[in-house]
Amino acid sequence: MDVHPLKLKVRSYVAETPFIRSLVFGVEDGVVPQWQAGAHLRVALPNGGDRPYSLMALPGLPEDALALGVLREEASSGGSQFMHALKVGDVVKASAPVNNFRLHEGAAPALLFAGGIGITPVLSMAAELAARGSSYRLHYAGRTPGLLAFLPQLQEICAGGLSVHYDNDESRLDIAAALGDAAANAHVYVCGPSGMIDAVKAAAAAAGVSADRVHYELFKSEQTSAPDRPFEVEIKSTGQVVGVAAGQTIIEALEAAGVDVLYDCRRGDCGICQCGVIAGVPDHRDVILSDEERASNKVMQICVSRAKSERLVLDL
């Protein structure tokens, strides 16, 4: 099955900031796929890989078009450089939309947080909530003025429901205060750097917000272009050694070897599969662990993380 069935042709692009570009695509050879706020698609890259980008409900976007926002990253594996080099008329292949960051059903209000390029799915959430007539507030944070993209579009979508914050002045985001101002039954959504996600999750827990009302999606920097390497996992309790192939997760390898493993999300964001590391160096790819936990190399999420060393000894 073709994992990139869509052919998208560039209709237009705009430099929203010196580092962020929006692109509008038409769909070649088919109909425009239906999608909801929080969805992304994966654009195929010339090197054989692909890269996820959130779909954006930009004001005035034609019904037969799709829009993406792309940050140009200096330490890029090729995705952002490729996307920033596209010209009108260029055609790319992409996956069908996937949504792991859906808005809640019903009339409960929402509190939205976005940092940097994490605004792309959150903008679409604001547009959908506004169309529903639902109560919400969006807090959009960046380092300095001039680096936040899509402010005119957000002001059109959100009207008075938008708060903009900069780290270098008195508008700096106070997450606890924002949570304190929200309705008791509000759902909380956050997309941005891992530090922002961790801060919102911690503040929400401290404020008594139940975990099922806190939703998040991490926008990771592009990884290095080096492909995943095979490695070995040793199970401390039995001494069994299991090989993990380049295109295989630790969980998949363990299950294939007959080892029963507890897990849930397979995305690195629920913590169910966390296990202790006795020896070796993990390659952390989750959104659960704190910086201190990652640096300790004593625990890892085996659904998504891999190994920097040739072998990991796990407390299983």
pLDDT tens-place string over residues 215-233: 998 755 444 445 678 999 9
Do residues 24 and 67 make contact, with C-beta atoms less than 8 angstroms apart? yes
Q: How many domains does the chain have?
A: 3
Confidence of residue 265 (pLDDT cuts 50, 70, 90): low
Mean pLDDT on 274-293: 83
Considering the domain architecture, whether residues 67 and 135 belong to the same structural domain is answered as no
Question: Among all chains, which residue has been given the structure tokens 């959009």?
Answer: 140
Q: How far apart are CA 37 and CA 207, in angstroms?
A: 26
Q: Does the pLDDT value for residue 290 go beyond 90?
A: no
Contacts of residue 119, Cβ cutoff 8 Å, sequence gap at least 6: 69, 140, 148, 149, 150, 154, 191
Residue of 274, 267, 276 lying closest to 315 (CA atoms): 276
Q: How far apart are CA 139 and CA 119, in angstroms?
A: 10
Q: How far apart are CA 149 and CA 2, in angstroms?
A: 33
In a domain, 303, yes or no: yes
pLDDT in tens, 47-77: 777 888 999 999 999 999 999 999 887 655 5
Query: What pLDDT sits at residue 49?
Result: 79
Q: 231: part of which helix (H) or strand (E)? A: strand 231-235
User: If you ran DSSP here, which 8-state letter would residue 31 be given?
Assistant: P
SS3 (DSSP) at 295:
helix
Domain range enclosing 161: 110-218
Q: How far apart are CA 101 and CA 291, in angstroms?
A: 24
In a domain, 225, yes or no: no
Considering the domain architecture, whether residues 263 and 303 belong to the same structural domain is answered as yes
Considering the domain architecture, whether residues 246 and 200 belong to the same structural domain is answered as no
Q: For a pLDDT cut of 90, what percent of the chain falls above it?
A: 64
Query: What pLDDT sits at residue 240?
Result: 94
pLDDT in tens, 31-44: 899 999 999 999 99
pTM summary value: 0.70
pLDDT in tens, 70-115: 988 765 556 788 999 999 999 999 999 989 899 999 889 999 999 9
